[in-house]
Amino acid sequence: MYTQLSKIQSGTFSTVYRAYDSKYQQEVALKIVEKPTQLAKAKKLAHLVAGEYDILTGLGTGHPNICALLDFHERDTCYVFVMEFAARGDLYEVIRSWKTRSEPRVQVDITRLLPQLCSAIDYAHSRGIAHRDIKPENILLDGQGNVKLADWGLSCRSRISHDSHIGTEKYLAPEAYGKPYDTFLADYWSLGITLLFVMFGACPFKSADVSKYLQNPNFAQFVADPQRFTSEYYFKPLHAGRDTVATKRHTSHRRTVSDDGPAEWLCLPQIGRPTLSREQILVLFTTNVVAHLLLVNPAARSMRAFLIRMSSLLVPANTCYSCDADNQPAAKLPTPSFENMSSEFYFPGLVSNPGTVLPMAAKDKGGYQSGGSTSSATTGANSSSSASTSSGSVATSQGSDSKNSGS
């Protein structure tokens, strides 16, 4: 039986609830997909659900950093995916809680996040599965801060895809706007954009569609000179003494760059002697992201090379900051000393209705057995601070970044 339901979030096609599985005595997440009343739409949705079920069963429960399917049910009015529950929610909301000064706030340990996320992607690829929608909203964190890569609804089992515009626009690889393309290498690009968002709280551009340079000069400038673009877009605001993200001005706990440094939601490793500043560490990380993941030529991307280069930098920090509902800090962030960014840090050559599932027997397995991969339309771009400029200058990462409401 699943009891004590509470709504977590709603999307275009589904609603997710937090529930308690009394049979196995654990919290779970119920993804409820309501069946349309129109026959044509119902058939299309059934195909999508069958594809997602096929992907999730193909992934299995063997990898600790993939949000696993625990059970599946089909009812007259809906489909129910019983998934692992991630207590800390998605990465986007974790970062947003720091932007808006919401409680509780907990830092994300990047020395844990990065290798775990890459491991989940590599595992899926080893099973012949491409995610095709990697973004912060689909990266969940459990109670211990471990990654659970989720939402495999747009995934496919094809290394080469003939479907274009599959995924969320701001995270789509340039080649994904045309066809055919390598889905695994496209995942690497999405990973790179995701990591930039994780480090700075903003995506670098609205779209990487090479056919629309005039509509997106930020991307054009990134292609022309990635080092200069990332310096001006992400790091120049730090030198001006401004926040890298917008925060609510009425709160008494507002933090600025001069207080805790950039990316205050991240627990960063302590590197070098003397220890590098937070800005310098972010420069190193950004350089590797750009050099190995964000290459317009898909064949040049390598997640393996990225991890090898990052391995010496991913030394766990001593403590990470957390703040409970009473706003009592458990550990303090290091105080950075901000120095001007030096070229030596750029390595040469690198560049629903809850009543419909009350109650539900855990032993009742719907067993929706069907193969095939999921193919769907773009989930839509987030309205973002990564706005382009008409004058040709780089638009900085100032401003808020609203979450995509799609599922």
pLDDT tens, position by position, 105-135: 999 999 999 999 999 999 999 999 999 999 9
Flag whether pLDDT at 391 surpasses 90: no
Q: In CATH, which of 3.30.230.10, 2.60.40.1120, 3.40.50.300, 3.30.200.20 is domain 1-85?
A: 3.30.200.20
Q: Which of the residues 90, 133, 187, 260 is marked catalytic?
A: 133
Distance (Å, rounded) from C-alpha 373 to C-alpha 384? 30
Active site (annotated) includes residue 109:
no
Edge-to-edge strands, sheet with 78-84: 2-10, 15-21, 26-34, 78-84, 69-74
Task: Output the pLDDT for position 2.
Answer: 85
What mean pLDDT comes out for the span 382-395? Answer: 38
Q: How many percent of the chain have pLDDT more than 70?
A: 72
pTM check: above 0.85:
no
pLDDT of 345 higher than 50? no
| pLDDT above 50: residue 8 | yes
- Show the tokens assigned to 189: 């690009």
Q: Which pLDDT does position 369 carry in this prediction?
A: 35
Convert the pLDDT of each residue in 216-249 to its tens digit.
899 999 999 999 999 999 998 877 755 444 333 3
pLDDT of residue 12: 79
Where in the chain do CATH 3.30.200.20 domains reside? 1-85
Kindly tell me the burial class for residue 75, based on how many C-beta atoms sit within 10 Å of its own C-beta (0-12, 13-18, 19 or more). Answer: middle
Confidence of residue 273 (pLDDT cuts 50, 70, 90): confident
Tokens of 406: 């799609």
Lowest mean pLDDT among 150-164, 165-179, 193-207, 254-268: 254-268
Mean local confidence (pLDDT), 353-371: 32
For domain 88-239+263-320, give its CATH number from 1.10.3720.10, 2.60.120.620, 1.10.238.10, 1.10.510.10.
Answer: 1.10.510.10
The pLDDT of residue 321:
59
- Cα separation of 159 and 346, whole Å? 33
pLDDT at residue number 110: 96
Among the ranges given (35-39, 63-67, 209-213, 382-386), the one the predictor scored with the smallest mean pLDDT: 382-386
Residues of the chain with CATH 1.10.510.10: 88-239+263-320
**Helix-strand-coil percent breakdown of the chain, rounded to 5?**
35, 15, 50
> What burial letters (b/e) apply to 345-365, b meaning 16+ CB within 10 Å?
ebeeeebbeeeebeebebeee
Average pLDDT over residues 387-404: 43
Whether the per-residue pLDDT at 396 is higher than 60: the answer is no
